[in-house]
Structure 1
Amino acid sequence: MSRALIIVDVQNDFCEGGSLPVEGGAGLAAEISEYVDAHHAQFDHIVATQDWHVDPGAHFSAEPDFLDSWPRHCVAGTRGAELHPDLDTEYIQAYFRKGQFTAAYSGFEGLLAPDDAVPTGDRKPGAMPLGGSTDTVAGGDTDEEPGSLAAGEDAIGLDDWLQSHDVEDVVVVGIATDHCVKATALDGIQAGYSVTVLRGLTVGISEDLDDAVAEMELGGVDIA
């Protein structure tokens, strides 16, 4: 049995200074880095998810209700969609990007980013490739939108990737406790994984996260 750590959406737009900041996001990025540095040997695999919006329709709104609609955030290829600079990517093996053309809260909706889109230590802010498969272009002659990921037969989702690496046990951390962390954890349970959320390595939008935690526990998620 393999064990994986899933780092959910620790991106610039979800941290202080971003377009949809969650209080404590920047500090969490550093705390997750410290945790990974100290505990990476306890995991066989470490992956990260990213909101990666091209045109998600009603998910973006000029008058958001902050339940089903939100201000523009994590637009594909922009600095806001990049992982926060305080999140150390040394041990991250794969990146899964979600929500190109629709709302997507769960990391299990994400598609594997190509190797050339993986951040490196010498990457300058704002220099992340738009991402996608070999079919993805910016301003080229294909029908793909700039920054999009091909979703054809060769697309690899998070569940596919975890299964191919014999993962049965996942641990989830990241942003936000009451939205993408919760959705990822509950989808993990539905997909048949043993799921633990490290409560101290998440931050939420709501001031009261008891309902979100209770929903995860009721769904079979272990809260540690």
Structure 2
Amino acid sequence: MSHANHPSDTALIVVDVQPDFMPGGPLACHEGDAIVPGIDALLRARRYRHVVATQDWHPREHVSFAANHADRTPFAQITLHGQPQTLWPVHCVAGTPGAALHPSIDWTSLDLIVRKGTDPAVDSYSAFRENHGPGGTRPPTGLAGWLRERGVAEVHVCGLARDVCVLWTVQDALALGFRAHMLWELTRPVTPASDDATRATLGLPSPPQEQLE
């Protein structure tokens, strides 16, 4: 069956589909591996003129790793650059197999890879802007300009994790003037307990009750 292409002003952003976020990885998302076949099929269908992938790519000494803070455990909260910061298990260390783009996906349609979290002192969730750094600024990744130069006005976002990096990417896209849509079924959260808050943040309706049972 043929697929109608999306308008040329629409790009797909695939966020952090990496083995370390899959079941068995150090920062496993709930059912994270369930989205791999769907994203692979979507990329193989060549429905988007522009496809961008983000890749967590941390130095081992990254400030967000609980292991780099004495007496702190993963998922503890600290204040970093004046903002709340979750401490994470060591994950997606640059150059390790767990940081690779997932090998079961055909990535040949990619136009751009945005590696984020490379600064050891600043965490980075969104594809568009890093988290708050020194001085309270959120440095841009350059993606917004790259998309605008190619006439992109709308982005569709999928990947991991629904409640963190995917959500921040959608929020930043909207704040930067793009139309943005989360491909909900092609995302998974760190924990399903966050889904109600994510829906509320994006103004999405709650699912029918039978889907919750």
Question: What amino acid sits opposite 1:93 in the alignment?
Answer: D
Residue number in structure 2 paired with 1:212: 198
Instruction: Pick from 194, 203, 206 the counterpart of residue 188 of structure 2.
Output: 203
**Which residues of 2 match residues 18-29 of structure 1 at below 5 A?**
18-29=25-36
**Which residues of 2 match residues 39-58 of structure 1 at below 5 A?**
40-41=46-47, 43-54=48-59, 57-58=62-63
User: RMSD value over aligned CA atoms?
Assistant: 2.0
Question: What amino acid sits opposite 2:174 in the alignment?
Answer: I
Question: What amino acid sits opposite 2:74 in the alignment?
Answer: P
Instruction: State the aligned residue count.
Output: 172
Q: Which 4+ residue blocks in structure 1 deviate beyond 2 angstroms?
A: 35-38, 55-58
Instruction: Pick from 97, 100, 117 the counterpart of residue 79 of structure 1.
Output: 97
Q: Does 1:64 align with 2:49?
A: no
Residue number in structure 1 paired with 2:125: 105
Structure 1, residues 172-209: CA drift from partner, whole Å, max 9, x if none? 00001100000000000011000011111100012230
**Which residues of 2 match residues 134-145 of structure 1 at below 5 A?**
none
**TM-score, length-scaled by structure 1:** 0.71
Contact 1:10 1:87 in 2 (8 A): no
Distance, in Å, in 2 between the alignment partners of 1:30 and 1:18 is: 18
- Secondary structure of 2:199's counterpart equals helix
**TM-score, length-scaled by structure 2:** 0.75
Distance, in Å, in 2 between the alignment partners of 1:56 and 1:163 is: 34
Change in CA separation of 1:200 and 1:76 when aligned onto 2, cut-off 3 Å? same
Distance, in Å, in 2 between the alignment partners of 1:76 and 1:190 is: 29
Q: 5+ residue gaps in structure 2?
A: 1-7, 68-72, 78-85, 131-139, 205-213
Q: Does 1:91 align with 2:109?
A: yes
Residue number in structure 1 paired with 2:147: 162
Q: 5+ residue gaps in structure 1?
A: 111-154, 219-224
Contact 1:10 1:50 in 2 (8 A): yes
Distance, in Å, in 2 between the alignment partners of 1:93 and 1:66 is: 36
Change in CA separation of 1:203 and 1:21 when aligned onto 2, cut-off 3 Å? same
